[in-house]
Amino acid sequence: MIKFLDKIDYILRKILVSTAAIFLLAILFMTCANIVLRRLGYPLQGTFELTGLFGAVVAAAALGYTQKKKENIAVDILVNHLPKRLRILASISNDAFSAAFSILAAWQIAKIGLRHIASGEVTETLRIIAYPFIFITAAGFAALGFVFIIDLFKNFAHKGEQQ
């Protein structure tokens, strides 16, 4: 079961991190183009707006990947000195709370996206719809929650092996 969940997680994270990479490249090219064109007297309209939308996508879409690779900041000075059993319990607690927070965040962000659809709200400068960016952000948090759930299952498996 865990291998199956890991495979789904891998595919989901690949899609999201590829999306993040595309949006990051778009930010890079757009910013460079804006710098050059601004010098020529023709700045790109909406660069700030798009950078904000794209930046949210980049940050959220990379969350699950970062957690899976354990490349985020971890403060585990105290936990490393605990006995193995307590370390596993601390990890289980952390994964459970983090999964719950991530899923709750995904749900609330998706609700914001649904409100944007219902209201027909668009961005201020470029007048583009923002809800696709909001839903990608929600998907990033959902993927993060999924990573924590898989880690939680793995921790329970380790706890079972220990007994």
Using alpha carbons only, what angle is made at residue 42 by residues 37 and 45, rounded to the nearest 5 degrees? Answer: 95
Q: Are 140 and 110 in contact (CB under 8 A)?
A: no
Whether 56 contacts 132, CB under 8 Å: no
Note down pLDDT in tens along the chain; length 163 residues: 778 888 988 898 899 999 999 999 999 999 999 999 999 999 999 999 999 999 999 999 999 888 888 766 666 777 778 888 888 888 889 899 999 999 999 999 999 999 999 999 998 889 999 999 999 999 999 999 999 999 998 887 765 555 4
Distance CA 161, CA 163 (A): 6
Contact 99, 152 (CB under 8 A): yes
Phi, psi of 73 (to 5 degrees): -75, 130
**Overall pTM surpassing 0.75 (yes/no):** yes
Residues 113, 152 contacting (CB under 8 angstroms): no
Write the DSSP symbol of residue 72. S
Burial class (CB in 10 A: 0-12, 13-18, 19+), 17: buried
Exposed/middle/buried for residue 10 (C-beta within 10 Å: 0-12, 13-18, 19+):
exposed
Burial of 21-33, coded b for 16+ CB within 10 Å and e otherwise, reads: eebbeebeebeee
Do residues 67 and 147 touch, judged by C-beta distance below 8 A? yes
